[in-house]
């Protein structure tokens, strides 16, 4: 393991937290937390510790804190030894009610420190489900999203407006991480948990964290993809002008 973190300057010289102090409670609960920058860039390679055998790591908070004493704690959401998590990351306060109306509220939440507000709702991954795909900005209140097109003044080509189809709701589970409570946002604000992480127990995670409705999640994803295809077709250039770079085949 390299003794020096990669060059990744913190915006506004924001001081990163004591990695050992903020990561140790999650390690005690059977999760893996890796050190990262203010921009959420991991300081170490982490791909080998997630997937079919997420416990294939030998790190501890103490070992990782030795070369990286100050770092953001990046919680590998699906790395739990007995309980695995799903985090719904809501980047806009006006989207929170939409999420709660469909997936229910969660007693364990983390405020993110984002300008304008942001919150992580923590759910439990259903038993027997191998993986829940992580998707950014896909599900959400489709009728309230930006679907407009505009003309590029330089090229005359039609293009999607900024924020096209973006819901500001991310779902993090399979092969994903989030900044854990105690971490620091680029704004300088600290991520704060509704329940102190040191007070959590494996029993609480297994019994009191609500199960994530993955069936509803996949249905909402399918509806969103269908809407994106329909909205995209409505903004296609006229026939004979070539293939748009926003081909329906490119929509994931």
Report pLDDT digits (tens) over 53-90: 445 555 789 999 999 999 999 999 988 888 999 999 99
Count of structural domains, the chain: 2
| Same domain, residue pair 12 and 110 | yes
For residue 121, what pLDDT is reported?
Answer: 98
Q: What angle do CA 158, 163, 169 make, to 5 degrees?
A: 145
For residue 209, pLDDT over 70 is answered with yes
Helix H or strand E segment including 104: none
For residue 226, pLDDT over 80 is answered with yes
pLDDT-derived band at 97, boundaries 50, 70, 90: very high
For residue 5, what pLDDT is reported?
Answer: 39
For residue 12, pLDDT over 80 is answered with no
Distance CA 30, CA 143 (A): 40
| Same domain, residue pair 92 and 56 | yes
Which has more confidence, 3 or 112? 112
| Same domain, residue pair 16 and 29 | yes
Half-sphere exposure of 37 (CA within 13 A, CB side): 14
Percent of the chain with pLDDT over 70: 83
Question: Within 10 A of 120 (CB to CB), how many other CB atoms are there?
Answer: 26
| Same domain, residue pair 197 and 224 | no
Which has more confidence, 81 or 237? 81
| Same domain, residue pair 42 and 101 | yes
Distance CA 126, CA 214 (A): 8
For residue 238, what pLDDT is reported?
Answer: 41
For residue 2, pLDDT over 60 is answered with no
Overall average pLDDT of the 125-150 stretch: 94
pLDDT-derived band at 114, boundaries 50, 70, 90: confident
Overall average pLDDT of the 207-219 stretch: 97
C-alpha dihedral sign at 145, 192, 37, 204: negative
Overall average pLDDT of the 179-206 stretch: 94
For residue 144, pLDDT over 50 is answered with yes
Of the candidates 92, 91, 89, the one whose C-alpha atom is nearest the C-alpha of residue 106 is: 89
Distance CA 181, CA 197 (A): 8
| Same domain, residue pair 14 and 86 | yes
| Same domain, residue pair 224 and 198 | no
Beta partners for residue 123, in sequence order: 86
Q: Dihedrals φ, ψ of 17, to 5°? A: -80, 170
Distance CA 237, CA 173 (A): 37
Six token digits for residue 245? 């770079």
For residue 237, pLDDT over 90 is answered with no
| Same domain, residue pair 36 and 77 | yes
Domain range enclosing 230: 135-168+213-252
Overall average pLDDT of the 169-184 stretch: 94
| Same domain, residue pair 148 and 73 | no
| Same domain, residue pair 87 and 45 | yes
Residue with tokens 């020096």: 4
Least confidently predicted of 122-126, 152-156, 177-181: 152-156
Report pTM: 0.84
């Amino acid at each position: 393991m390299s003794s020096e973190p990669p060059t990744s300057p913190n915006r506004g010289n924001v001081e990163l937290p004591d990695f050992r102090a903020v990561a140790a409670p999650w390690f005690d609960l059977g999760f893996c937390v890796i050190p990262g920058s203010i921009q959420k860039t991991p300081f170490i390679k982490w791909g080998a510790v997630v997937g079919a055998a997420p416990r294939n790591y030998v790190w501890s908070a103490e070992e990782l804190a030795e070369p990286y004493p100050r770092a953001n704690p990046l919680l590998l959401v699906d790395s739990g030894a007995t309980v695995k998590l799903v985090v719904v990351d809501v980047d806009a306060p006006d989207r929170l009610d939409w999420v709660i109306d469909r997936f229910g509220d969660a007693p364990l939440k983390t405020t993110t420190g984002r300008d304008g507000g942001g919150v992580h709702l923590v759910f439990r991954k259903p038993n027997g489900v191998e993986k829940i795909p992580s998707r950014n900005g896909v599900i959400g209140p489709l009728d309230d999203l930006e679907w407009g097109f505009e003309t590029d003044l330089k090229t005359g080509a039609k293009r999607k407006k900024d924020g096209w189809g973006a819901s500001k709701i991310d779902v993090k589970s399979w092969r994903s991480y989030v900044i854990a409570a105690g971490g620091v946002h680029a704004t300088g604000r600290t991520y704060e948990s509704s329940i102190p992480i040191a007070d959590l127990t494996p029993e609480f995670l297994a019994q009191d964290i609500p199960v994530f409705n993955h069936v509803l999640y996949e249905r909402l994803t399918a509806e969103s993809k269908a809407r994106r295809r329909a909205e995209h077709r409505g903004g296609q250039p006229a026939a004979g002008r070539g293939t748009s770079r926003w081909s329906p085949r490119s929509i994931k």
